[in-house]
Amino acid sequence: MSKELEYFSKKVARGLMDRRAFMGRAAALGVSSTMATGILATAVHAQGPVKGGILKAGLQGASSSDSQDPGTWASDYTTNLGHIWGECLVEVDPTGEIEPRLAESVEASADAKTWSFRIRDGVEFHNGKTLTADDVVATMERHSNEESKSGALGIMTGIDRVVADGQNVIFELSTPNADLPYLISDFHLVIQPGGGKDDPAAGIGTGPYRLVEDQVGVRAVGEKFANYWDGDNRGHADQVETIALNDPTARLAALQSGQVDMINRVEPKVVDLIKRVPGITVQNVAGRGHYVFIMHCNTEPFANNDLRLALKYAINRQELVDKILQGYGSMGNDFPINGSYPLFSDDIEQRTYDPDKAAFHYKQSGHDGPIVLRTSDVAFPGAVDATQLFQQSAAAAGINIEVKREPGDGYWSDVWNVQPFSASYWSGRPVQDQMYSTAYLSSADWNDTRFFRDDFDQLILSARAELDNDKRREIYREAAMIVRDEGGVIVPMFNDFVEATGPRVGGWFKDPNFGFMNNRAIVKCWVES
Residue pLDDT tens, the chain, 529 long: 566 677 677 666 655 566 667 777 777 777 776 677 667 666 665 667 999 999 999 999 999 999 999 999 999 999 999 999 999 999 999 888 999 999 999 999 999 999 999 999 999 999 999 999 999 999 999 999 988 889 999 989 889 999 999 999 999 999 999 899 999 999 999 999 999 999 999 999 999 999 999 999 999 999 999 999 999 999 999 999 999 999 999 999 999 999 999 999 999 999 998 999 999 999 999 999 999 999 999 999 999 999 999 999 999 999 999 999 998 999 999 999 999 998 999 999 999 999 999 999 999 999 999 999 999 999 999 999 999 999 999 999 999 999 999 999 999 999 999 999 999 999 999 999 999 999 999 999 899 999 999 999 999 999 998 989 999 999 999 999 999 999 999 999 999 999 999 999 999 998 999 899 999 999 999 998 6
What pairs with residue 374 in β-bridges?
404, 422
| pLDDT value for 146 | 83
**Dihedral (CA of 314, 448, 94, 217) sign:** positive
Helix (H, G, I), strand (E, B) or coil at 215: strand
Residue 124: how many CA atoms within 13 Å on its side-chain side?
A: 12
What is the C-alpha to C-alpha distance for residues 444 and 446, in angstroms, rounded to an integer? 5
Helices (H), 366-487: 383-395, 432-439, 454-465, 469-486
CA distance 231 to 208: 7
Which H or E element spans position 371?
A: strand 371-375
Write the CATH number of the domain with boundaries 54-62+207-285+497-527.
3.40.190.10
Q: What is the CATH superfamily name and number for domain 290-495?
A: Dipeptide-binding Protein; Domain 3 (3.10.105.10)
Q: What is the reported pLDDT for 162?
A: 98
Structure confidence at residue 450 (pLDDT): 98
User: Euclidean distance between the first and final Cα of the chain, in Å?
Assistant: 22
What sign does the dihedral 322-324-328-329 (CA atoms) show? Answer: negative
For residue 365, the model assigns a pLDDT of: 98
Contact 264, 498 (CB under 8 A): no
Q: What sign has the CA pseudo-torsion 178, 343, 329, 357?
A: negative
pLDDT, position 16:
55
Look at residue 311 and give its three-state secondary structure: helix
Domain ranges for the chain, please list them.
3-47, 54-62+207-285+497-527, 87-193, 290-495
pLDDT at residue 220 in the model = 98
Neighbouring CB atoms inside 10 A of 220's CB total: 28
Query: How confident is the model at residue 2, as a pLDDT?
Result: 61
What torsion, rounded to 10 degrees, do the Cα atoms 9, 15, 16, 20 define? 60
**pLDDT at position 11, please?**
63
Give the pLDDT of residue 456. Answer: 98
Determine the Cα–Cα distance for residues 38 and 73; give it in Å rounded to an integer.
36
Rounded Cα distance between 507 and 521, Å, is 9
How far apart are alpha carbons 350 and 348 in whole angstroms? 6
CA–CA gap between residue 5 and residue 1 (Å, rounded): 7
Which overall architecture, per CATH, does domain 87-193 show?
A: Alpha-Beta Complex (3.90)
Cβ within 8 Å of residue 19, ≥6 positions away: 12, 40, 503, 504, 528, 529
